[in-house]
Amino acid sequence: MSAQTGIASRYFITGTDTEVGKTVATAQLIRLFNQLDIPTIGMKPVASGCIAQGDILINDDVIAHQQASPIHAPLELVNPYRFLPPISPHLAARAAGVAIDLQHLVHCAEQLSDYAETVIIEGAGGWFAPLSEQFRISDLAVALQAPVILVVGMRLGCINHALLSAKAIRLSGLPIAGWIANRIDPEMAFYSDNLSYLQMHLSAPLLAEIDFQENAVDGCLNLQAFERLKLRNLTP
Q: Which CATH class is domain 2-232?
A: alpha beta
Q: Which bin fits 44, alpha (ψ -120 to 50), beta or left (φ > 0)?
A: beta
pLDDT at 75: 96
Dump pLDDT digits (tens) for 70-114. Answer: 999 999 999 999 999 999 999 999 999 999 999 999 999 999 999
Query: How many percent of the chain have pLDDT more than 90?
Result: 90
pLDDT at 235: 63
C-beta of residue 153 within 8 angstroms of C-beta of residue 13: no
Average confidence score pLDDT of the chain: 94
Q: Which bin fits 68, alpha (ψ -120 to 50), beta or left (φ > 0)?
A: alpha
Dump pLDDT digits (tens) for 116-171. Answer: 999 999 999 999 999 988 999 999 999 999 999 999 999 999 999 999 999 999 99
pLDDT at 203: 87
C-beta of residue 162 within 8 angstroms of C-beta of residue 15: no
- Average pLDDT score over residue span 3-32: 91
Looking at the predicted structure, is the pLDDT value of residue 1 above 50?
Answer: no
Active site residues: 44
pLDDT at 133: 87
Dump pLDDT digits (tens) for 168-222. Answer: 999 999 999 999 999 999 999 999 999 999 999 998 999 999 999 989 999 999 9
Stated as kind and residue range, the H or E segment containing 53 is strand 51-53
Query: How many percent of the chain have pLDDT more than 70?
Result: 97
Domain segments of the chain: what residues? 2-232
pLDDT at 5: 67
